[in-house]
């Protein structure tokens, strides 16, 4: 038996990692500006994180949610403090897709309605309901093609109100910043319109912060730039720094009952210890502020390059070129030992490093990218228009 191919494989085999670097089996060191899909939030093999999960494993790694779990309580309390959502409840699960599934179910339970409004180009996961609100038909098997989803364009407030006015919509779901699409940020006014119209028509506002949350954009959640307060917030990725956990933050106005939601592995002692360690390090090392400062510098300097557009906030950045970026990424990897990410838009490089990225590392990336662009132009490896 061999592993199932999930993605096209890079031609290297990482065997260890520390901070913002990974090393392959040949001893080469790479600067990781992708963090495995924005998962590595506080840095690879962060010592406090390693210590916390090692200690918890030696004490008690697992018991179900049928017993009291003081580690989960501590983690939820800390999350509330750092995010500003102290009055919300936290339902812990194992992944972002599960978070979206449960958020949509909660909205439907709460409102008694069936339909969901989602934004075009969005991505919310690969399980059934999550895929149903994801605007990518290529990912849908025949069994997934029947869903009660209305897709509208980003910023189309008229279409949003028209759909909501039918009074059959349980929720509106939107990413804090669209990640896989190529880093597209909803405007402040659009997010505020979603909140207002949801209240008007009795729907719930779901903010998908799976990629854009946990300090990545320079605030704990990207939607906080718009001063809105969603009814449900989905989290994962950076929440566990590589440990598979996810969650739903639930407004106090929503009253779940026993049996409404359930999970075997969500919120275990080990997962809660990992999540608590991430929050403690975010706070003690001021990583959200670091993401803000280093990200602002990167965005400013990237805007000086020959690019079509630079988008994003903090350390969630997309750089769009007028040509496919396959060769650029290859040169960055092979010549400069830098990992970057792709998007569904083949002209966009995504930059999603650990939030511990230093200014020195950011400068190295900028100089390497400039050199790579010059090389591409000189050798006409790509067609620049």
**Kindly report the CA angle at 23 between 18 and 27, in degrees rounded to 5?**
135
**What distance in Å separates the CA atoms of residue 122 and residue 153, rounded to the nearest whole number?**
10
Residue 375: pLDDT band (50, 70, 90) is confident
In a domain, 87, yes or no: yes
End-to-end CA, the chain? 47
On the question of pLDDT at 1 being above 90, the answer is yes
In a domain, 108, yes or no: yes
CATH classification at residue 239 = 3.40.640.10
On the question of pLDDT at 381 being above 70, the answer is no
Confidence (pLDDT) at 75: 98
CB of 10 closer than 8 Å to CB of 32: no
On the question of pLDDT at 382 being above 60, the answer is no
Q: Which residue has the tokens 């495995």?
A: 36
Q: Which residue has the tokens 């670097």?
A: 21
Confidence (pLDDT) at 176: 98
**What distance in Å separates the CA atoms of residue 69 and residue 229, rounded to the nearest whole number?**
28
Long-range contact set of residues 261-265: C-beta below 8 Å, sequence gap at least 24: 261/91, 261/102, 261/105, 261/106, 262/65, 263/65, 263/91, 263/92, 263/93, 263/94, 263/98, 264/64, 265/62, 265/93, 265/94
**Tokens at 274, concatenated:** 């990992």
**What distance in Å separates the CA atoms of residue 107 and residue 169, rounded to the nearest whole number?**
9
In a domain, 377, yes or no: no
Q: What is the pLDDT of residues 195-228, one digit of tens each?
A: 999 999 999 999 999 999 999 999 999 999 999 9
Q: Which residue has the tokens 């949003």?
A: 160
- pTM reported for the whole predicted model: 0.95
**What distance in Å separates the CA atoms of residue 100 and residue 237, rounded to the nearest whole number?**
13
In a domain, 171, yes or no: yes
CB of 273 closer than 8 Å to CB of 71: yes
Q: How far is CA 148 from CA 45, 109, 115, 161, 344, in A?
A: 42, 15, 5, 17, 24
CB neighbour list of residue 82: distance below 8 Å, 6 or more residues apart: 220, 279, 282, 283
Q: How many CB atoms lie within 10 A of CB 148?
A: 16
Residue 380: pLDDT band (50, 70, 90) is low
**Tokens at 349, concatenated:** 């490089």
Q: How far is CA 384 from CA 247, 306, 318, in A?
A: 43, 10, 18
Q: Is 274 helix (H, G, I), strand (E, B) or coil?
A: helix
Average pLDDT, the chain: 95
Q: How far is CA 381 from CA 280, 283, 326, 334, 384, in A?
A: 46, 44, 10, 15, 9
Confidence (pLDDT) at 385: 45
In a domain, 335, yes or no: no
Q: How many domains is the chain partitioned into structurally? A: 1
In a domain, 367, yes or no: no
**What distance in Å separates the CA atoms of residue 206 and residue 63, rounded to the nearest whole number?**
30
Q: What is the pLDDT of residues 297-309, one digit of tens each?
A: 999 999 999 899 9
Q: Is 11 helix (H, G, I), strand (E, B) or coil?
A: coil
Across the range 355-373, mean pLDDT stands at 97
Range in 63-67, 105-109, 240-244, 268-272 the model is least confident about? 63-67
In a domain, 294, yes or no: no
Share of the chain above pLDDT 70, in %: 97
Q: What are phi and psi of 77, to 5 degrees?
A: -60, -45
**Tokens at 192, concatenated:** 């505020």
In a domain, 127, yes or no: yes
Alpha helix positions (H), 202-268:
none
Q: What is the pLDDT of residues 245-293, one digit of tens each?
A: 999 999 999 988 888 999 999 999 999 999 999 999 999 999 999 999 9
Q: What is the pLDDT of residues 85-118, one digit of tens each?
A: 999 999 999 999 999 999 999 999 999 999 999 9
Q: What is the pLDDT of residues 13-30, one digit of tens each?
A: 999 999 999 999 999 999
**What distance in Å separates the CA atoms of residue 151 and residue 115, rounded to the nearest whole number?**
11
CA 129 to the chain's CA centroid: 18
Residue 147: pLDDT band (50, 70, 90) is confident
Q: Is 148 helix (H, G, I), strand (E, B) or coil?
A: coil
**Tokens at 70, concatenated:** 């003081």
Confidence (pLDDT) at 379: 62
What is the domain extent for residue 260? Answer: 47-284
Angle separating helix axes 287-302 and 359-379, nearest 10 degrees:
30
């Amino acid at each position: 038996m061999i592993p199932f191919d999930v993605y096209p494989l890079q031609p290297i085999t990482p065997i260890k990692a520390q901070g913002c670097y990974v090393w392959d089996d040949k001893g080469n060191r790479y600067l990781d500006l992708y963090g495995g899909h924005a998962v590595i939030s506080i840095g690879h093999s962060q010592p406090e994180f390693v210590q916390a999960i090692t200690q918890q494993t030696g004490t008690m790694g697992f018991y179900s949610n049928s017993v009291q779990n003081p580690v989960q309580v501590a983690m939820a309390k800390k999350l509330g403090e750092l995010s500003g959502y102290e009055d919300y409840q936290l339902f812990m699960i194992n992944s972002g897709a599960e978070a979206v599934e449960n958020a949509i179910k909660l909205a439907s339970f709460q409102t008694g309605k069936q339909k969901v409004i989602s934004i075009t180009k969005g991505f919310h996961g690969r399980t059934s309901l999550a895929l149903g609100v994801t605007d990518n038909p290529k990912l849908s098997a025949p069994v997934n093609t029947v869903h009660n989803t209305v897709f509208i364009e980003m910023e189309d407030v008229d279409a949003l109100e028209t759909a909501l006015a039918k009074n059959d919509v349980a929720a509106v779901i939107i990413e804090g910043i669209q990640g896989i699409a190529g880093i597209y940020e909803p405007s402040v006014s659009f997010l505020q319109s979603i909140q207002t119209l949801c209240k008007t028509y009795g729907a719930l506002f779901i903010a998908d912060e799976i990629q854009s949350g946990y300090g990545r954009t320079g605030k704990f959640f990207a939607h906080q730039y718009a001063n809105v307060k969603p009814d449900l917030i989905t989290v994962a990725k950076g929440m566990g720094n590589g440990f598979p956990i996810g969650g739903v933050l639930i407004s106090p106005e929503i009253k779940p009952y026993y049996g409404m939601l359930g999970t075997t592995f969500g919120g275990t002692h080990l997962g809660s210890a990992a999540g608590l360690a991430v929050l403690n390090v975010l706070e003690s090392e001021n990583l959200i502020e670091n993401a803000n400062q280093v990200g602002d510098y990167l965005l400013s300097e990237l805007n000086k390059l020959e690019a079509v557009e630079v988008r994003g906030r903090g350390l969630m950045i997309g750089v769009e070129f007028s040509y496919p970026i396959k060769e650029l990424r290859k040169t960055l990897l092979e010549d400069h030992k830098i990992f970057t990410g792709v998007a569904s838009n083949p002209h966009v490089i995504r930059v999603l490093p650990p939030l511990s990225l230093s200014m020195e590392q950011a400068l190295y990336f900028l100089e390497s990218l400039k050199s790579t662009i010059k090389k591409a132009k000189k050798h006409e490896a790509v067609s620049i228009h």
